Structure 1
Amino acid sequence: MITLYSYPELFGVADNNGYGLKVFAFLKLTGVPFTHRHIFDASGAPRGQLPYIDDDGEAIGDSETIIAHLIQRYGLAIDSGLTLAQHHTDHLITRMLDDLYWVMSYSRWQDEHYWPAFHDALLAQHPGLSEDALRSAQEFNSMRYYYQGIGRYAPADAYARGLADLQVLADIIPSNRFLHGPAPTTVDAAIYGFIANIYFFPIETPLRQFVAARDNLIDHCMAIHALVSATPPAEQYAGAH
């Protein structure tokens, strides 16, 4: 049995981190049974990062590595119909989402315009969190942003990077369909992981304002959300701990 360990839900999405939500959506789209355990403490995870899975005693971290493992081990055909060019496109989009992650995270933890709303939402939905724990997480993230580079940007310049990434997605995602056709593939799960974590958050960052004004991004997000939100009888969930 597979257990997915990822950050807790927030604002109606199954993980408030784009990478964890990406893996969650992939598992749901492929129909692989799994247990979902929400945790805050990543110290026991491979490389100290979430998400990770435990697959019959084998711990595997990194969302791309997790998905590659699942495809190979379980013979999943979600991407089997893609051309080489489409695989290359997916690789480029995945790397671009890595860039978008930093801007999205920056908007929550560092930008003082939006941090209070994010802080209050976390405490409201997860009352077991302490003020000290949140402040420690904010300080840790601030250090990460500084060494990654985004923390040295003025807010307008940081958001310009994220908006450029979102513009690419807005330009390439077709209306009323998934990226490569009528059926979703892995890259659609990846896109959903990040767009849902922007769109469903009622915090009016420049990123959310952009997404909310693009019908094709909303339609794509809602289509994946509808596919992954229903809980099949075989799935088991464990609460946050």
Structure 2
Amino acid sequence: MTSTTETETKVETQTPAAAAKEENLPVANDAGGDAAKDGEKPAENASAPGSPTKKTGTLKNVVTAHKKDFEKDVVYLYQFVRSPTTPSLSACCLMVETWLRMSGIQYENIDHKLRYKSKRGQLPFIELNGKEIEESDTIIRELSLYFEKDIDDGLTPDQKIMTHVFCSMLNNHTGWIVRWWRYNHPQEFLDVAQLDIKRTFNSRLPNSILNFVFKIGFRKHLKDAVGYGVGRFSLEEVVESAKNDLKVLSDFLGTKDYFFGKEPRYLDLSVFSHLAQFIYVPFGGLKEWMQEECANLLAHAERVKTKYWSDWDEILSTLEMNTHLPKKEVPAESSEPKAEDEAKKAKEEEAKKAKEAKAAEKKRLAEEKKKEREEKKKKEKEEKERKKKEKEEAEKAAKEKAAAEAEAAKQAEAAKAEAAAAETPAADGAAAPAAEATKEAAEKQETAPNGSADAAAAKPEVTAE
């Protein structure tokens, strides 16, 4: 798989004259696209029909045309997908579509999701009356002949020479400066162009894989830029070279509205298509430089855009391919069924909303009940914990009281024991002198006379009392 602008180089390096203009379609598409691989001859468009010359000429239908139900003289344009910054990131595609608008030719973009490419593997290409025409220069030349639309009619030979000179510069040098920057800075290009890479390649692969393949595809084309003489220079040198090209164009335009007067010509078309790649996908500070040094080129691009791209903003916002076509009107006979369908749809929508409201109310009530249960459970848990705590505190207080009472009883016993111990030594001390006195009286009685003995015998009795 390659990138959108990668296709601007492969075929261009084949023939320098036509090369600098055409783009080569990505070689693969993981979503089932049938773009042929490089070097392969596509199965479709295998024939090479002759190009139309005059509108009155006979055109041979091509059986392998992609658009089977084509309308006569309607141009079917195959190009790249839209971008949020410019209708096309390819100068060649933008040039062909702008020419169709300038010439007032009826055309339709085919939103082919990058599945198709021309016989030479390029974009853009067109189909006219079942016939394929490729290469932007060839497309414009052949359509100019067929529809007799020559936007350079009336130019002098010198003016036509200047057109050829400037277009050659744009195609073979200025345009390659844009490609060189994109090939060297693929991620920055993606960011500035605001590309949705999945949409661009119509792929379901992850962005990381697509980005990796995108960068690899871009970088392998650096050799093409080398072949055109810009690939070996630094960014500063390449930007300076671009400034030289733009300054020459600015000086040639001067104060004129368009390069050759009041009406746009082919050179204006080519300049606008290339300038759009500098203005709407800017790099290297060139847009800011143009505002200072080449403001007339910016005004010229805005003038062409306003004149032929009134739907520019709509394209960038919607990325639609055919905003230029009138909106299809609903047939009168189908208006009534459509109204019925709308009423039915509105009724279904109301029923759906009522069902959703009922479900929401049911959910709300369920949530409230759940919340109430949770609150109740929480309170019960808190009450249980409170009672448990109170019980533990009561048990603790009872234990502490019992312990205090036991300690008090113990202390009382100890005090009583101490008091009893203190009383016992005092009684022992009083009995000892009495015993000693009794002993002495007995000894005296044994030694004394009878009368004395009687007296002595009577004395202890008195003492005992």
TM bucket normalised to smaller: 0.7 to 0.9
Structure 1 position 11, deviation (Å): 4.0
Structure-2 residue corresponding to 1:116: 187
The answer to which structure, 1 or 2, has the higher relative contact order (CA under 8 A, 6+ apart) is 1
Q: Residues 85 and 46 of structure 1: is their aligned pair in 2 closer, same or farther, counting only changes over 3 Å?
A: farther
Matched, 1:177 2:248: no
Letter in 1 for 2:237: D
Flag the structure with larger Rg.
2
Structure 1 position 90, deviation (Å): 0.6
Structure-1 residue corresponding to 2:448: none
Matched, 1:227 2:301: no
Structure-1 residue corresponding to 2:244: 164
Q: Residues 146 and 38 of structure 1: is their aligned pair in 2 closer, same or farther, counting only changes over 3 Å?
A: farther
Structure-2 residue corresponding to 1:106: 180
- 1:60-209 matched pairs, under 5 angstroms: 60-98=133-171, 99-110=173-184, 112=185, 115-122=186-193, 124-128=195-199, 129=201, 130-175=210-255, 177-201=257-281, 203-209=282-288
Is 1:33–1:234's contact at 8 Å kept on the other side of the alignment? no
Structure 1 position 141, deviation (Å): 2.4
Q: Deviations over 1:153-191 (max 9, x none)?
A: 222222232221111111111335111111111211111
Is 1:94–1:190's contact at 8 Å kept on the other side of the alignment? yes
Residues in 1 aligned to 2:158 and 2:301: alpha-carbon distance in whole angstroms: 24
Query: Which of 204-213 and 14-23 deviates more?
Result: 204-213
By percentage of residues, which structure has more strand? 1
**Number of residue-to-residue matches in the alignment:** 232
Structure 1 position 41, deviation (Å): 4.5
How much is the aligned-residue C-alpha RMSD, in angstroms? 2.5
Percent of pairs with identical residues: 21
Structure 1 position 121, deviation (Å): 4.4
| Partner secondary structure for residue 258 of structure 2 | coil
Is 2:126–2:134's contact at 8 Å kept on the other side of the alignment? yes
| Partner secondary structure for residue 15 of structure 1 | coil
Is 1:46–1:52's contact at 8 Å kept on the other side of the alignment? no
Is 1:103–1:150's contact at 8 Å kept on the other side of the alignment? yes
Letter in 2 for 1:107: W
TM-score (norm 1): 0.85
Q: Deviations over 1:128-149 (max 9, x none)?
A: 3422441243133223223333
Q: Residues 162 and 176 of structure 1: is their aligned pair in 2 closer, same or farther, counting only changes over 3 Å?
A: same
Q: Residues 96 and 211 of structure 1: is their aligned pair in 2 closer, same or farther, counting only changes over 3 Å?
A: same
Residues in 1 aligned to 2:271 and 2:121: alpha-carbon distance in whole angstroms: 24
Structure 1 position 61, deviation (Å): 1.8
Is 1:4–1:53's contact at 8 Å kept on the other side of the alignment? yes
Structure 1 position 232, deviation (Å): 4.2
TM-score (norm 2): 0.46
